[in-house]
Amino acid sequence: MRYSEMFLPTGREIPSDAEIVSHWLMIRAGMIRKLTSGIYSYLPLGFRVIKKVEQIVREEMNRAGAQEVFLPAVQPAELWQESGRWQQYGKELLRFRDRQDRECCLGPTHEEVITDLVRNDVKTYRQLPRNLYQIQTKFRDEVRPRFGIMRCKEFSMKDAYSFDVDEKGAEISYEKMFEAYSRIFSRCGLKFRAVEADTGNIGGSFSHEFMVMADTGEDALVFCSSCDYAANVEKAEVSMPEKKAVDESAFSPLEEIHTPDVRTIEEVCAFLDVTPQDVVKTLIFLVDDSPVAVLVRGDEEINEAKLRSYLGCDSLELATDDIIYEVTDSPRGFAGPINIKSRIVADYSFVNMTNCVVGANKEDYHIKNANIGRDFKVTEFADLGLIKETDSCPRCESPLRFARGIEVGHVFKLGTKYSKAMKATYLDKDGKEKYMVMGCYGIGIGRTAAASIEQNYDDNGIIWPVSIAPFQVMITPVNIKDEALLTTAEKLYQGLMDKGIEVILDDRDERAGVKFNDADLIGIPLRITVGPKRLAEGKVEVKIRKSGEVEILSVDEAEKFIVDWVQAELKADS
């Protein structure tokens, strides 16, 4: 490719709304442009990177035995009603009607479509297992898109779906995908870790997220310092604290206190001169249409993902004021466990609390010295909070470490969630009808590219790993009006292309400094500088972007050096 012919608008200045490095560099490097909030165009340079990532994904999926398909982006409501997600998915699912007034949606993920496809054409255990994947545009109507293509509404995703005869088979499919994902992200030159994760909207029993380590990541991760436990903090288990023996003689008498207009934990603490650790926070949730009171120590937060999975519910939201009134006979701010008219679930943080402050279920009143057993009963204790620095590893009790990461891939064991809802069955050897056991596996293509930038850049710009670089080499004749330089550059250009190297020739009539800066900015791994001083000795310079090392070589040596270097780099990551 000749730079002079390429649509590659690089820039010195960038829109001030770019918050993270990858976003600002992708804009400056002429890779992407925003059309509207959360929706981006890829320019030629950006699209070359996307295609590189896709190609690695294809090769590894195919190697793992998956087959590529291409499913529709527009999907009928009926399928989503069948799985139950038409109701459940919420506003993130972009819905619309076609001219026949039929309800449709733009696919945010494709479990319904693939399950429909497979149930119609797979009838016997002889046709299983199968793993089908596609690379396709997904649409999720994000509440707040941000960070460029990192969290956007329209994005390209690789999604794969496995169908097995039983759990054992599904486990093997899952492991194959886990292995393939590890290879994919290694080949993309990323430092990553797989962590246990919540299954969220997709559902299923178990999942791992592949996290690219980066301080700008949206996810908080926790790792054990000695065993290999690693989890998203949303999922990370907190061990049940040891229950201390209850000494009823230490219970102080109940005390009802007039606390006018004192509602929040901070207000209660200030008013009663206690710490948040002394106060019980009572949150009323509406869980599949019935209220549930959740107790947590005042300094802790409820992790809704954990609560959702503990309760095994379809819908979960904080209760409205009417519901709170029904359950507590009082307005918001005075709920407590004593005589509350709902099911009670308590977080582990509550286990050893004594003489605590609770709402009185009476407007403008709180109660001091409330004690479990004497004043109210709690039968359900669960892990509903967020893991903290002071907690220890749930597997081995060792100290924990925290880090941030970018979720680039997610693998799920779905079980029979979709096959049951949508009746995807097969006949086994004994002629018995059984549900297929499914798994699903996603990779954010654009996000993977952006994550690579978050890990590989310097003050001058992007530093692509060779495997996903838009070009492997850039040739920079320092002055194209000097015929000898241009001739040599052209010769190298042809020679390298003949050897299968991806080359961009900077044949623009620009000063050397401009060309060097653009080469660094767009992050091409190798740059050949063709300049008058070296050429007088028959030599050119090859500069390695990531290390800054320079080799002075003849044209033939340079070609060989480059071919070898590129091969070695590609091998190193695979």
Nearer to RNA, 130 or 543 (CB): 543
- Considering only CA atoms, which of 12, 36, 35, 37 is closest in space to residue 24? 12
- Which residues 400-419 are close enough to bind RNA by CB under 7 A? 407, 410
Binds RNA by CB under 7 A, chosen from 116, 196, 347, 541: 541
Q: How far apart are the first and last CA of the chain?
A: 27
* Residue 304 interacting with RNA (CB under 7 A): yes
Q: How many CB atoms lie within 10 A of CB 100?
A: 5
Rounding to the nearest 10 degrees, give the CA dihedral for residues 238, 243, 244, 245: 170
Q: Is 232 in the site for RNA (CB under 7 A)?
A: yes
With binding defined as CB under 7 A, does residue 222 bind RNA? no
In single-letter form, the type of residue at position 113 comes to: V
Q: Does 36 bind RNA (CB under 7 A)?
A: yes
**Number of neighbouring beta carbons within 10 Å of residue 376:** 16
| 188-221 burial: b if 16+ Cβ within 10 Å, else e | bbbebbbbbbbbeebbbeebbbbbbbbebbebeb
383 forms part of the interface with RNA (CB under 7 A)? no
321 three-class SS:
helix
**Backbone torsions φ then ψ of 330, nearest 5 degrees:** -150, 165
Q: Select the residue interacting with RNA from 14, 257, 351, 570 (CB under 7 A).
A: 14
Listed ranges 42-50, 137-145, 221-229, 248-256: which one lies at the site for RNA (CB under 7 A): 137-145
CB of residue 120 to RNA, shortest distance in Å: 26
The distance of closest approach from Cβ of residue 480 to RNA in the complex, given in angstroms and rounded to an integer, is 8
* CB neighbour burial string for 5-28, b if at least 16 within 10 angstroms, e if fewer: ebebebeeeeeeebebbbbbbbbb
Residue 152 or 279 with smaller CB distance to RNA:
152
> Are 434 and 425 spatial neighbours (Cβ–Cβ below 8 Å)?
yes
Query: Does 140 engage in binding with RNA (CB under 7 A)?
Result: yes
- Is residue 142 near RNA by the rule CB under 7 A? yes
Rounded to a whole number of angstroms, the minimum distance from the CB of residue 72 to RNA is 19
Residues 382 and 347: beta-carbon distance below 8 Å: yes
255-284 residues near RNA, rule: CB under 7 A? none
**209: three-class secondary structure by DSSP:** strand
CB of 199 to RNA, least distance (A): 8
The only residue of 4, 5, 17, 87 in contact with RNA, by rule CB under 7 A: 17
Cβ neighbours, 10 Å, residue 404: 16
CB of 139 to RNA, least distance (A): 12
144 binds RNA (CB under 7 A): yes
Q: Based on CB atoms, which residue is closest to RNA, 221 or 357?
A: 221
* Cβ-based nearer residue to RNA, 89 or 376: 89
Name the pairing type of β-strands 437-444 and 32-36: unpaired
- The DSSP secondary-structure symbol of 278 reads G
Among 164, 198, 391, 507, binds RNA (CB under 7 A): 198
512 binds RNA (CB under 7 A): yes
**Interacting span for RNA (CB under 7 A) from 29-37, 160-168, 274-282, 355-363:** 29-37
**Window 447 to 466, contacts with RNA (CB under 7 A):** 460
Binding part of the chain for RNA, among 42-50, 58-66, 341-349, 514-522 by CB under 7 A, reads 514-522
Q: Which of 71, 118, 157, 202 binds RNA (CB under 7 A)?
A: 202
DSSP 458-516: ETTEE---GGG-S-SEEEEES-TTSHHHHHHHHHHHHHHHHTT--EEE---S--HHHHH
Separation CA 73–CA 70 (nearest Å): 9
The count of chain residues that interact with RNA, using the rule CB under 7 A, is: 63
List of residues contacting RNA (CB under 7 A):
10-17, 19, 28, 34, 36-38, 89-90, 92, 108, 140, 142-147, 197-198, 200-202, 209, 219, 232, 234, 304, 316-318, 407, 410, 460, 478-479, 481, 511-514, 516-521, 529-535, 541, 543
